[in-house]
Every structure is written in structure tokens, then in C-alpha cells.
Amino acid sequence: MFRHAPAPTLANEPCPAPMSGAERAPLLIHIGFHKTGSTWLQQQIFGSADHGFTTETGRPRHQIVHDFVTADAFQFSPDEARASYARHIAAAKNQGWTLVVSHERLSGYPSSGGHDRRLIADRLHATFPQARILMILREQRSLIRSMYSQHITDGGTGSLRAFLASVEPHLGRRPGFRLSTYEFDGMIQYYQRLFGRDKLLVLPYEMLAEEPAWFVARIQDFCGFTGEPVGRANRANEGRSLLMQLVQRRLNALFYDNELSPGALVAIPRFAPRFGAMRGLFEAFSPRRLERYLHARLRDQVEAHVGSHYAQSNWRTQELTGLDLARYGYPVSEPLA
């Protein structure tokens, strides 16, 4: 993740001109994916009137998950959901801003294979058919490594090998991670079908790291306005020590009773944030040599499991979006005829 920094390293980067004659978008829905700079966007861009956005709904952000993800299938009401946001959309519009509904859970949850991501898309469209949608991608091997670490932070107990493996996949008793979760083309095509190609903006996470001014300007232009430019973007949530994650993975099974690891031996309330408070100790005392070894092992395991799985999907994603993913290190190959 990233922190806003004032240094205008890319202030002279070419930015798109404002949309000619386009009405400012009253609502932008940012759906993720996880581990693609969401915290930086939410804190530094979407919550900033200087950039033309607001996230103010008078409710905590996790309410978004309740509204569109965990609501019972037979109790979800698009009319009620729409009414709960209407006043805030109007207030933002009166100020000349775009209201942003931003939560990475709207793209599904990778540890459960994103099993509900189509249902969520349908609910968003039924509620806000005229909304504009922002989707952020990330090179899949890097994304899997980062998401596995997040899986441990969230309470997971399995090794990377167990995280990637599908146990009895033909029964599907409990959804788990699948490589298909990060075949982006299917989800992009579905959102384009629901909302229209011109209502979906897809950007690579790597652009945020390399060209933050251009990245933010693309989002602003997509919503019909320009705003205060950004300079450098620094990480807001640095990755944890892998030794820390290794220790937490084992302790989760003992002390953390949660959705990813139910039935702790001794459930400690708020175990995850309490353990997270020890981050500084692990960063100070974890041997660098051990960290390099753990990083290399993680990278090699992901590489061996993934191989060229995403290359053809990435080619289709390029065709759907016009993005040059190969430029950012994504494996890309044209499907065989």
C-alpha cells in the first residue's frame, strides 16, 4: 500500500484532458482487488475533496460489506440499498464531488476463491445501474504472494502449499483459493456486460507505483473532472516480516477463533491486532538472511505452482481493456487457435 508524499516526481507526466462535455460522475464504485493499493486510494484520494472525491456516508466502511456481500440472498433489496446511499450521493454532487463506495471485498475474497464475486456484481448493478466501476489489477504471482500473507494476517493457519491446493475440489464443501480467481478477463467481461464498456475503468497496480500522477488522473478523468495532482506515492501498509507471518500462522490455530480458522484451542479476544502490535520487534530482530530465504522460498513455490497459467487470460484482458500488461511484467501470450 502507499502513503501520499508531496515530492512531485511525476508532476510533469502527461495527464489526460478532462472529459469534454461529460457530466461529473455522481458515484464511483471501487471494487478492488485485494492488495492493489486500496488503503492508499481510500485514505489519500477518495477521502480528499482536493482530488474531487468523498467517501462520506455517515456509516463505517464495513457497512458496504453488509449492504452488498453478507446480506441474505432472500433479504437483499436493491431499492433499500439505493435509498441508504441516495442522500450522500446527492450531497457529494451538490459539492461538485463524486461519492466513492470503496471496498476490496466487492471483488470477492481470494481465500474462498472469490465464489461470490458474480453475485456481488449483480447486486451492485441492480442497485446502481448507472454507476462507474473501478477495478485495479496486479501481476498474479506477486498478488498471490501478497494475498497469502494477508490470509495469515486475517487468521489463516495453512502453509502456502495448503493455501494453493484444492482438497477434494469435486465436492466443493468449502470454497478455497483457486487460480481462476485471478483470471481477470472473465470478471472484466462480466462488468462490461452489466454496466457498459465505457463505465468500467481497469488499471494495473504497477502503474500506481511507477506513475502515480497518471494513475490518479486516469481515475479523475474517468469521473469527468480533474483535481489536485499527486507526486510520489509511498507505501502506507508495508509488508510484514515473513518470520512474523510464519509465527502467526502457527499461533492462529491456538489462539485466533475466526472465519479462516474456527475452533481455537484458547480463543484470545482481538488476537490479530494484539499480535500485530509486535510488528516492530519482528522487523528489528528478524535476521535479514532468514527473510531473504523465506522470500525466495515463497517466490519459488508460487512460480512452480502458477507456471504460465495466466498468460492467455492476460492476453484476453489486454484485448478487453487496451492495457499493455506485458509492460508491467505480466506474462502474456496469445491463445492458440
Query: Is residue 184 reached through a cis peptide bond, with omega within 30 degrees of 0 on the bond before it?
Result: no
Which cell is 175 given?
470454497
Record: fold of 2-10+25-238+308-328: Rossmann fold (3.40.50)
Confidence band (pLDDT; 50, 70, 90) for 208? very high
Looking at the chain, the domain(s) classified CATH 3.40.50.300 span 2-10+25-238+308-328
Q: What is the pLDDT of residue 48?
A: 87
- β-pairing verdict for 2-4 and 233-235: antiparallel
d(CA 86, CA 99): 10
DSSP string, 78-110: HHHHHHHHHHHHHHHHHTT-EEEEE-GGGG--G
Total Cβ atoms within 10 A of residue 76: 18
Task: Note whether 34 and 147 are within 8 A (CB).
Answer: yes
For the cut 90, the answer to whether the pLDDT of residue 31 exceeds it is yes
Mean pLDDT of 7-35: 64
CA distance to 77, 89, 100, 263, 331, per residue, from 70 (Å): 12, 23, 20, 22, 34
Confidence band (pLDDT; 50, 70, 90) for 236? low
pLDDT of 119-151, one tens digit each?
Answer: 999 999 999 999 999 999 999 999 999 999 999
DSSP annotation of 71: S
